Chains A and B, each alone.
Chain A
Amino acid sequence: MPLDLICPAGNLVSLKAAIDNGADAVYMGFRDNTNARAFPGLNFDEAQAMEGLRYAHDRGRRVLLALNTYPQSDSWSRWTGAIDRAASLGMDAVILADAGLMRYAVKHHPQLRLHLSVQGSATSYEAVNFYREHFGIQRAVLPRVLSLPQVDNVVQHTDVEIELFGFGGLCVMVEGRCLLSSYCTGESPNSAGVCSPPKAVRWTDTPSGLESRLNGVLLDRYGKDEKAGYPTLCKGRFEVSGETYYALEEPTSLNTLDLLPEMLKMGIAAIKIEGRQRSPAYVAQVTKVWRAAIDAVKKNADGFKPTAPWQAELNKLSEGQSHTLGAYHRPWK
């Protein structure tokens, strides 16, 4: 079916919230840096993963495992071990970024379904088809840098299923290649599994505003009524040539409800919701809205219009002051 709804699960309670509110599939990570949300206390041990799989499969839904960081040479076996566990647990697919791990998976677990992670940074059909030919990937998650016509061009030239991000926090989108966090902390999402590791983050309420610091580097100072964002370098305000502003990007969230009819017509296989680090309340609220929207667009694509309550609910959950259609929509093109 087109437009499967893929929702984040940071723990078992969130997984159940996603399933109960209408997710077609959830994605999760193991409790280590083999995935890009390696926060303390988050993610699944083997017993929890097994229970999550049972809960989803009993209800006819699927579980995807994010194994989307890049293994380091001294700990290669941690990543291959995770692939072995995914296969023995019966994961419905693994989401991989690293070509070496794909090779391992194909060789040792030829039945395991492979998805190319957004961290793999494949933006052209040539790149997507390369992964198809060499590793038999079934689906690719496209980086959030393409406009919808560019996405359409990829879809037209591959038989790999295409998954797009639909909602959630945005980053500077050099997916799989961003080292900004390393600049301050020595750790980046691609190897350590987390950008702005929490041990390096400090928040302080000062008379001049709420300050966020990363390893001592001031990222932002929020005025009394300003909305706050995640403490990442890309979303900080910096002084450049005498002016203080969001020098890299403004904190905003992606929200593509408006584009659902086009995505449906294009044959997009799945829509991904960001946020494994968020709480069960977020997962329940966002899943409920997107389930209703996807059902509505499938029933009547031409008459589809996101309702005001849907947008209000999603805006409330968003990081930053506003939401955006991101690169998908470029009216000047």
Chain B
Amino acid sequence: MLNLAVPAPLGSLIARLPATPPSRAFSVVANRLLWPALQTLDWQPLVGRRYAIRVKDLGLSLRFTVTARGFAPDSGAPDLTISATARDFLLLLARREDPDTLFFSRRLVSEGDTELGLIVKNLLDALEPEAIVRRLPAPLAHAARRLMAT
């Protein structure tokens, strides 16, 4: 069984997050750590739309939009809401599970603009994992490789 304990480097990072609302923290951290690795993707169809990621078991709702320069917090009504548990989000990010599989078993729910959701899914599916991971900061890259290793 996959060990999904939060790796120590990631854990200490989360512990150091500012005590601002989670959506703001998410955008700051995502822009710092992920955006350099992701900015070359074709974000055009996603720019200006509002997203909500609901981590059900943590009671966390991350709301943001995408701009030409990265993620920005946004509290308006989301165009797309994706809900799952923290564990299932990690399994998806690590490519250990297929979103449709989680969707059939009701572990993943996508509400709002279905076409937008599909564009996001296909954008992420088309990423070569290693091409992204090697552009991440070292501790995060290490954690990601651990998560993906089968």
Question: B118–A41 contact, CB under 8 A?
Answer: yes
Chain B interface category by residue count: 20 to 34
Question: A285–B126 contact, CB under 8 A?
Answer: no
- The 0/1 profile, CB within 8 Å of A marked 1, for residues 86-105 of chain B is 00000000011111110111
Bound together, the chains give a CA A143 to CA B83 distance in angstroms of 37
Bound together, the chains give a CA A144 to CA B119 distance in angstroms of 30
- The 0/1 profile, CB within 8 Å of A marked 1, for residues 40-79 of chain B is 0000010000000000000000000000000000000000
Is the CB of A278 closer than 8 A to any CB of chain B?
A: yes
Question: A228–B106 contact, CB under 8 A?
Answer: yes
B-chain residues with CB within 8 Å of residue A231 when the two chains form the complex: 114
Question: B106–A14 contact, CB under 8 A?
Answer: no
Is the CB of A185 closer than 8 A to any CB of chain B?
A: no
Bound together, the chains give a CA A204 to CA B123 distance in angstroms of 23
Is the CB of A134 closer than 8 A to any CB of chain B?
A: no
Is the CB of A318 closer than 8 A to any CB of chain B?
A: yes
A-chain residues with CB within 8 Å of residue B129 when the two chains form the complex: 13
Stretch of A172-180, A194-202, A289-297 contacting B (4+ beta carbons < 8 Å): A194-202
Is the CB of A281 closer than 8 A to any CB of chain B?
A: yes
Looking at A14, A210, A227, A228, the one whose CB has the most chain B CB atoms below 10 A away is A228
Question: A210–B109 contact, CB under 8 A?
Answer: yes
Is the CB of A205 closer than 8 A to any CB of chain B?
A: yes
Evaluate whether A229 and B109 lie within 8 angstroms (CB atoms) in the complex, with A11-B125, A40-B115, A40-B118 already known: no
A residues contacting the other copy or chain, number (CB 8 A):
37
- The 0/1 profile, CB within 8 Å of A marked 1, for residues 103-147 of chain B is 111100111101101110111011111000000000000000000
Nearest chain A CB to B142 CB, angstrom units: 22
Evaluate whether A280 and B125 lie within 8 angstroms (CB atoms) in the complex, with A41-B118, A222-B106 already known: yes
A202 and chain B: residue at smallest CB distance? B114
Is the CB of A319 closer than 8 A to any CB of chain B?
A: yes
Is the CB of A130 closer than 8 A to any CB of chain B?
A: no
Question: B98–A285 contact, CB under 8 A?
Answer: yes
| Known A10-B125, A282-B101; further 16 A-B contacts with Cβ < 8 A | A11-B125, A11-B126, A14-B125, A39-B118, A201-B114, A202-B112, A204-B111, A210-B109, A225-B106, A227-B106, A228-B104, A281-B96, A281-B98, A282-B98, A319-B100, A320-B104
23 A–B pairs (Cβ distance < 8 Å), ordered by A:
A10-B122, A10-B125, A13-B128, A39-B118, A39-B122, A40-B122, A42-B122, A198-B117, A199-B115, A203-B111, A210-B106, A226-B106, A228-B103, A228-B106, A229-B104, A277-B100, A278-B100, A279-B98, A280-B125, A282-B101, A317-B98, A317-B101, A320-B104
